[in-house]
Every structure is written in structure tokens, then in C-alpha cells.
Amino acid sequence: MLLDFIGKEIGSAFYNRGVHDAQQLVQQKAEDIVEALYGLERG
């Protein structure tokens, strides 16, 4: 019962935080890839 209550009341907050953290990580990795590609360009 306590676990059900915790899951219902605050579970979504932890889930949303995890999604936000994952979004930031993917965005940073994409920026790193773009920078690496610019480094490969010949001028």
C-alpha cells in the first residue's frame, strides 16, 4: 500500500526528472557530434 501511494503521488515527478535528464544528455551528445563534424571539415 505504501509503495502504491508513493508511486501514484511522486512517481511521475521522478519519471519526469529522468526524462529531462535524458533529454539534456542527448542534446549535449548531439552538440558534441556537430562540433566533431565541424572539426573534420576542410577549409
Q: What are the DSSP calls for the chain, one per residue?
A: -HHHHHHHHHHHHHHHHHHHHHHHHHHHHHHHHHHHHHHH---
Q: Say what the pLDDT of residue 3 is.
A: 87
**pLDDT computed for residue 15 by the predictor:** 94
Q: Taking all residues of the chain, what is their mean pLDDT, rounded to a whole number?
A: 93
pLDDT for the residue 7: 86
Give the residue carrying C-alpha cell 519519471: 15
pLDDT digits 0-9 by tens, 1-43: 888 888 888 999 999 999 999 999 999 999 999 999 999 998 7
pTM of the model: 0.70
Please measure the distance between the N-terminal and C-terminal CA atoms of the chain and give it in whole angstroms.
65
